[in-house]
Amino acid sequence: MLPIQQMIAEIEAEVGYTAGMTGRPELSEQVREAMRQVPRHMFVDPELMDEAYDNYPLPIGYDQTISQPYMVAIMTDLLEPKPHHRVLEIGCGSGYQAAILSLLVQKVISLEIVGPLARSARERLARLGYHNVEVIEADGQFGWEQQAPYDGIIVTAAPEDIPQPLIDQLAPGGHLIIPVGARYMAQELLDIHKVTEDEVITKGVLGVSFVPLTGGA
């Protein structure tokens, strides 16, 4: 089996084990296809290429990681991306999650607080042809008011509390998928569904472990 096929098989197995918590026994076909398309080995350091399709996070420098493939897949699925959507990502890192999203939606705006990571992700995404991703060096605690509202928001670093601007910048009908909790301690992945301007339904999905969301006031 090719490493990428092995990765998809492992993701699907984990999606199966966690179905009781996520409510999703299977990935949507579109998300599975996007995970098959994006070359994860192009998003890690050359010396880690052999591990690029293993189902765990890998270091990308600056104390940050490219998320576990399963986590990217399930978060993308929970976001319920549609081809006409404009999605905001907080925590661009390597750009891998942004590349997956770019195949599923019209436009991805991805914020990254670490300048060199923002620059290398921007350069990598352009080189690999993911032209509908805009990488912006900014503190995601404030969201990105300039292009709000967003049809979905995905956060790949954990704040201790949900930043209010993210809820404000979400369009009615949209999902905010975000890990919340103390640094490296018990964090919970939340699916926050903004049903209407005044009705928000928050669902705890899974126990997770993300790098902290830095920045803030």
Under the binding rule (CB under 6 A), the answer on residue 165 touching ligand SAH is no
27 vs 113 by CB, closer to ligand SAH: 113
Among 22, 141, 169, 187, binds ligand SAH (CB under 6 A): 141
Instruction: Work out the burial of residue 129: count CB atoms within 10 Å of its CB; fewer than 13 is exposed, 13-18 middle, 19 or more buried.
Output: exposed
Instruction: State the nearest-atom distance from the C-beta of 197 to ligand SAH, in Å.
Output: 25
Residue 106 half-sphere exposure, CB side, CA atoms within 13 Å? 8
8 vs 111 by CB, closer to ligand SAH: 111
Closest CA to 154 of 205, 111, 106: 111
Among 8, 44, 113, 192, binds ligand SAH (CB under 6 A): 113
CB 38 within 8 A of CB 96: yes
Under the binding rule (CB under 6 A), the answer on residue 101 touching ligand SAH is no
Site string for ligand SAH, 143-162 (x = CB under 6 A): -------------xx-----
Q: How would you list the strands of the sheet with 133-137, edge to edge? A: 133-137, 107-112, 86-90, 150-155, 170-181, 187-196, 199-208
Q: Is 120 a catalytic residue?
A: no
Q: Is 211 helix (H, G, I), strand (E, B) or coil?
A: coil
Site string for ligand SAH, 174-213 (x = CB under 6 A): -------------------------------------x-x
Question: Is the peptide bond between 149 and the residue preceding it cis, with omega within 30 degrees of 0?
Answer: yes
CB 90 within 8 A of CB 79: no
Under the binding rule (CB under 6 A), the answer on residue 96 touching ligand SAH is yes
40 vs 86 by CB, closer to ligand SAH: 40
Among 90, 104, 133, 158, binds ligand SAH (CB under 6 A): 90
- Which residues contact ligand SAH (rule: CB under 6 A)? 64-67, 90-91, 93-94, 96-97, 111-114, 117, 139-141, 156-157, 211, 213-215
Active-site annotation, residues = 67
